[in-house]
Each structure stands twice: as structure tokens, then as C-alpha cells.
Structure 1
Amino acid sequence: MNLRFPDPAQRAAIEAAARQEGVSLQEYILSAAYARATAVETHFLDAFSRSMARSGDAFAEAADAAVADGERRTAELAARHDLEEQHERGHAA
């Protein structure tokens, strides 16, 4: 691995952190990159889980509304049928 640091102070700080951890410069940088990548992955998965929960709630609300609409439509059809029967009975009399 070729490690180039344009800023000598940055390289010195990273080397000091690696020495403090007791690992090589390369191992320290790879560990930091891995930690960063897994943190990003964890953040993404958490956000995705929250999004799925919101979507599930929205679909559940839509399904409840569809059931309510269906029940209302059934009630409307029954009422219309009753009115038509009453109207037909009125003409028959």
C-alpha cells in the first residue's frame, strides 16, 4: 500500500495514533477505513429499517382505508337496493 500524505502534520498525527494503538500505519488506516465503512453501513441499514416501518404503516393505513371504502360501498349498494325495492313497491301499489 502506497501511503502519501500531502500534509506532513497529518502524516505525523496518524503515525502517532498508530503507535499509540500499537499497530502499523497501514493497519491503523485500514482499521479506520473499515470502521468508517461499517458505520456508514449501519447508518444506511438503520435508515432503511425506519423507512420500511414508515412504508409498512402507510400501506396498513391505505389497506384500512380500502376496507372502510369497501364497507361503505357495500352499505351504499344495500341502501340503493332498498330504495329501489321501495320505489318498485310504490309503483306496484
Structure 2
Amino acid sequence: MSHPKAMNLRFPDPAQRAAIEAAARQEGVSLQEYILSAAYARATAVEERFLDAFRASMARSGDAFAEEAGTADPAAEQRSAEQQARRDLEEQQERGHAA
């Protein structure tokens, strides 16, 4: 059975390593935990930016289709049902991110 290896933390700049070690000590965590936490925070921030841009894109697309809806003119009930379904989906997605 293989044993997990510790992270190999090499810093070409000793000042950079000292600054990160000081920040980890201030947070009261190990250097590895500090670096992993920072990497996770950055990844989730990137994911959130992507999702925000995706939602904005979906809204623009929805608006464009809504403008063109007049040509097909679906029944008012159908439009209302579609809008409600869209709101429900958006609420589900927001609740998923809150968890």
C-alpha cells in the first residue's frame, strides 16, 4: 500500500516563502493547509465568475428570444408557464449555490 506523500513546497524566492509562512502562522494553520485553502478559494472564485457570466449570458439570450416571441405569438398561458418554469429553475440554482 502506498503512503500519501507530503506536498513538496519549494519556493525559489525565500522572501515569498517567509511571507506565506507568516500568513499561515497568523491564520493558525500549517503551510500546506494555508496553500490548499488559498488554492481552493481562488478556484471557487473563478467558478463563481464563470457562473455569473453564464447566468448573464442566459439572461441576454432569454431577453433576445423574448423580443422575438412576438412573431410566434404563443398563447399567454404558455408564456406564463414558461416564465414560471424559468423562475423556478433559477431559484433552484441559487439554492444549490447557497448550500
Same fold (TM over 0.5): yes
Aligned length: 67
Map 1:11-22; keep pairs closer than 5 Å.
11-22=17-28
| Counterpart residue number, 2:4 | none
Helix, strand or coil: the match of 1:40?
helix
Residue 58 (1) aligns with residue 91 (2): no
In structure 2, list runs of 5 or more residues that go unmatched: 1-6, 74-99
Runs of 4+ in 1 over 6 A off after TM superposition: none
TM superposition shift of 1:62: 1.4
Larger Rg, first or second structure (1 or 2): 1
In structure 1, list runs of 5 or more residues that go unmatched: 69-93
Map 1:1-93; keep pairs closer than 5 Å.
1-64=7-70, 66-67=71-72
C-alpha deviations, 1:27-64, integer Å up to 9, x for none? Answer: 00000000000001111111110110000000111122
Q: What letter is aligned with 1:7?
A: D
RMSD: 1.1
Indicate the percent of aligned positions where both proteins have the same amino acid: 87
In structure 2, what is the Cα distance between the partners aligned to 1:51 and 1:4?
41
Helix, strand or coil: the match of 1:46?
helix
